[in-house]
Amino acid sequence: MREPTTAEKASLTAGAAMWRTAAVPEADIPSFTMSDGPMGIASGKVDERDIAALSPCAMSLGASWDVDLARRIGALVGGEAVERGVDAVLAPNINLARSPLAGRAFEYFSEDPFLAGVLGAAWIGGLQSTGTGSVAKHLVCNDSETERDRVDVRVDERTLREVYLLPFEMAAQAGCAGMLAAYNKVNGNWCSEQHHVLTTIVKEEWGYPGLIMSDWFGTHSTLGTINAGLDLEMPGPARFMGAHVGEAVEAGQVSAERLDDAARRVAEMARRVTGSKSVPYTAEQAQDLLVEASAAGFVLLKNEGDLLPLAPGAVSRLAVIGPNAAAPCFQGGTFAKISVSPDLATPAQAIATLYEGGTQVVFEPGVDPQPRLPSMPARPAIDIGDGCTAGMTLEYFASTDCSGEPLTRETRNTNSIVWFVGVHEQGPFDQGGSVRASGYFTPVTDGEHAFYLGATGEARLFVDGDPVLTTSEIDAKDVMGKLKSGDASTASVDLSAGREVHVVIEFHYRPARVQGLWYGVRGPGGREELLARAEAAARDADAVFLFVGETSDSSVESKDRADTLLVSDQLELIERVLAANPRTAVVANVGHAFDTSWDEKAAALISAWYPGEGFAQAIAEVLAGEREPGGRMPVSIAKSEADYSGLNLIPDADGVLEYAEGTRFGYRAIACSGGKARHAFGSGAGYARFAWSEVRVEGDSVSLTLRNLSDRSGSDVVQVYRDDPEPTLVAFAKCEVAPGTDQRVVLPLRRRQFVTWQGDGWSPLGGRFDVRVARSAEDPGTVLSVDWEALG
């Protein structure tokens, strides 16, 4: 094996393709392949046919407060990567839920950096136990999506180090193979050019030996990027790095040592993640784990009169109501979206199966389950011999007007399609061309049908040859923004039930790195009729399970939310159902903190987050009492939006977003203001009940005895906070205890959690100080005195 040349070293600093790095075989440096995450292995082609296991979102894992579970889920995702030939996964996402409006809050473990860091590190350990590399993201302060490609986050040094960098510090300690630099700026510099963060803190102070790469298309210069400490530009081919770095070295603008460091880090990661691999779970074990993990994140926030659990046969008639019972939101809408089996059960189906025989179960959606972009139920216009009987026929043309012979054809049973240059070869997406989508749609009712159309270029939709919709041409620089927004135009056509119509969409595009097309059709349906049927079903039932929440396009990449409310139709549904039957358990299928001011009228409330593909079985078994709802709140739900200190995510005219609240957001802000949350950070309960006793300090640890007072197994979460200079989680443990038994719990206290950044260095609290052992951030708990010298 020889030493790579300067040109070869430079080539390693840029990707070779969309998801693959460069190789130097003569120097024993292989390329490695990456995939997006973190909820599973996302198809690099964003193709619904590339089915993979879908785990609970990070917020759901955060709600579990279960370190071992996070590790096992990481291992499951790692095994999926091995089976698909993926060497490294862009995950976990260890940014923080600073605001409940953040579009990707569901991808974050918590509003608390310690909880996020501990669980993120465990997930990393699990993933990397399979031989797959973890690339922790997004370094740093990419905690919102509004104008993320230009926003300049202004944050003080104490807050940066104690809060936003802490999860990355813990990821580094866990040995993550790489880190992904974010799109945004921090204190005036692009994250890919943040020398203070990338080099001074991460590489020098932490001694991090791994690779730091850019987010996709997240670089802006050659010298600023390589000299700041970024090692790898993605994707390839190179825009600013690669050969440009070699030229800069020759010109004396970049030191040979900096190039050597970058190339070495890329080479070491390549060798590391292309080594031996393992798959830890069988398919059956993986499915069992996904159901377990889903239930572990469910947070029981209210249970008046012990409505839950409701065993099969306990009531004669049960109404299952709500859009998310039949169209659950398994995940959010990012480019890391996982393609799941179309045969996944819904909560309504799982509940009906579990309660069959003992209880009559009726279902009503109450409101439209697809409020933003409905599906396009169609059969292909052309039989291309692929055996597909559902979906649209797609034809790809080199021409810009769908003329001539198509280059290729395929059937796509989806209504949202994305093509990346270098990944999809069906059309000349980087040169300009066209796509025709065609199929036959059969209405089931008479009346006005709304057709939807969106695209990254000029598109036209025809029904039986008549033009119905047209989208406008888009400049290449605006393509990604249009794609991420997912906005669609609509127009109505009067159709007759049972009479098939021919739907054709012609899409013409200019050259760009990515293209997208999305469409749908919504039949006539009276909003009031849906609500009235749900209200009647609730009134006639002995109990109600009401499923509300979001769709997968409610939480999207590059777009934050306007408020914390559920959509207005669902709020009306909640009001009418709760008025019709107070014996209602609400299941909120929402991936972030949200307004629950309506919950006072509900008998029970479960926050289910985005729970992955195990949702249906897990929620049916939890409602029936066959499993415990094992979660505690990983975020605070405030009484009003004004109580969220970091709520606003819109940068000013100069692109600046001030983190003016400093370290005090989430539960810290609420406590320091003297207020109370509607549902506090760390709060929640299972069906089992526990007593705590003998709470004391033992050397460098806090210990206590947990006693399960119930006749069923259950878990409790012990939390330790320091309250100076503001409430801060410093230790926690989730403990499973058998019925009627005791368990001694020991929680180590580490000095790292009892220091603050002052001036230009870390300052210990020192001497003696208090810690609070509690069930939530607002629980008075038991206050103990701790000696700094005794800490580990």
Sign of the C-alpha dihedral, residues 41, 47, 51, 55?
positive
d(CA 630, CA 289): 14
d(CA 375, CA 497): 17
CATH class of 688-790: mainly beta
**Predicted local confidence at residue 551, as pLDDT:** 84
Q: What is the pLDDT of residues 351-374, one digit of tens each?
A: 999 999 989 999 999 998 887 889
Q: Are 503 and 441 in contact (CB under 8 A)?
A: yes
Model confidence at 265, pLDDT cuts 50, 70, 90, reads very high
**Predicted local confidence at residue 479, as pLDDT:** 77
> Average of pLDDT values for 484-503?
92
- Residue 445: left if φ>0, alpha if ψ -120 to 50, beta else—which one? beta
d(CA 365, CA 103): 26
d(CA 66, CA 228): 37
Label residues 261-291 b or e (16+ Cβ within 10 Å = b): bbbbbbbebbebbbeebebbbeeeebeebbb
Q: What is the pLDDT of residues 407-438, one digit of tens each?
A: 999 999 999 999 988 788 888 888 899 999 99
Please calculate the CA angle 412-418-423 and round it to the nearest 5 degrees. Answer: 100
Tokens of 776: 């939530």
- pLDDT of 489 higher than 80: yes
**Strand (E) or helix (H) holding 64:** helix 58-64
DSSP labels, 196-235: IIIIIIIIIIS---SEEEEPTT----SHHHHHHT--BB-S
- pLDDT of 555 higher than 80: no
For the sheet with 489-495, list strands across it.
Answer: 416-420, 514-522, 447-455, 489-495
Give the CA distances from residue 558 to residues 39, 373, 593, in Å, rounded to whole numbers and listed in that order. Answer: 18, 18, 18
Q: Percent of the chain beyond pLDDT 90?
A: 89
Q: Are 120 and 92 in contact (CB under 8 A)?
A: yes
Tokens of 547: 């499923």
Rg (CA), the chain: 27
CATH class of 379-522: mainly beta
- In the chain, which residues fall in CATH 3.40.50.1700? 298-371+526-630
pLDDT averaged over every residue in the chain: 95
- pLDDT of 587 higher than 80: yes
- pLDDT of 336 higher than 80: no
Model confidence at 562, pLDDT cuts 50, 70, 90, reads very high
Give the CA distances from residue 286 to residues 55, 224, 273, 768, in Å, rounded to whole numbers and listed in that order. Answer: 10, 44, 23, 47
Model confidence at 204, pLDDT cuts 50, 70, 90, reads very high
Query: Pairing relation of β-strands 185-186 and 543-549?
Result: unpaired
Task: Give the other-Cβ count within 10 Å of 83's Cβ.
Answer: 14
> Average of pLDDT values for 431-452?
95
Query: Pairing relation of β-strands 408-412 and 447-455?
Result: unpaired
> Average of pLDDT values for 129-140?
98
Q: Are 314 and 359 in contact (CB under 8 A)?
A: yes
**Predicted local confidence at residue 557, as pLDDT:** 79
Closest among 246, 250, 223 to 9, alpha carbons compared = 246
Tokens of 710: 């119930």
- In the chain, which residues fall in CATH 2.60.40.10? 688-790
Model confidence at 755, pLDDT cuts 50, 70, 90, reads very high
- pLDDT of 554 higher than 80: no
Strand partners, 714: 737
Closest among 230, 208, 209, 205 to 220, alpha carbons compared = 230
- pLDDT of 750 higher than 80: yes
**Predicted local confidence at residue 766, as pLDDT:** 86
Q: Are 710 and 689 in contact (CB under 8 A)?
A: yes
Q: Are 684 and 633 in contact (CB under 8 A)?
A: yes
> Average of pLDDT values for 642-671?
96
**Predicted local confidence at residue 369, as pLDDT:** 83
Q: Are 131 and 86 in contact (CB under 8 A)?
A: no
Question: Rounded to two decimals, what is the model's pTM?
Answer: 0.93
d(CA 189, CA 381): 51
- pLDDT of 297 higher than 80: yes
**Amino acid residing at 650:** I
Closest among 448, 434, 491 to 467, alpha carbons compared = 491
**Amino acid residing at 349:** Q
**Predicted local confidence at residue 404, as pLDDT:** 95
| All residues at 6 or more sequence positions from 721 whose CB lies less than 8 Å from its CB, including other chains | 727, 728, 729, 730, 771, 772, 774, 777, 781
Q: What is the pLDDT of residues 594-653, one digit of tens each?
A: 999 999 999 999 999 999 999 999 999 999 999 999 999 999 999 999 999 999 999 999
**Predicted local confidence at residue 50, as pLDDT:** 82
**Predicted local confidence at residue 558, as pLDDT:** 78
> Average of pLDDT values for 430-457?
95
d(CA 478, CA 470): 18
Task: Give the other-Cβ count within 10 Å of 4's Cβ.
Answer: 20
**Strand (E) or helix (H) holding 6:** helix 6-11
**Predicted local confidence at residue 225, as pLDDT:** 98
**Predicted local confidence at residue 487, as pLDDT:** 85
For the sheet with 88-90, list strands across it.
Answer: 34-36, 88-90, 133-139, 178-181, 211-214
At 25, is the secondary structure helix, strand, or coil? helix
Q: What is the pLDDT of residues 677-732, one digit of tens each?
A: 999 999 999 999 999 999 999 999 999 999 999 999 999 999 999 999 999 999 99
**Predicted local confidence at residue 580, as pLDDT:** 98
Catalytic status, residue 215:
yes
**Predicted local confidence at residue 228, as pLDDT:** 98
Closest among 345, 330, 307, 296 to 627, alpha carbons compared = 296
Q: Is domain 298-371+526-630 in CATH 3.40.50.1110, yes or no?
A: no
Q: Are 691 and 707 in contact (CB under 8 A)?
A: yes
- pLDDT of 46 higher than 80: no
User: Which member of 215, 231, 553, 599 is catalytic?
Assistant: 215
d(CA 218, CA 239): 10
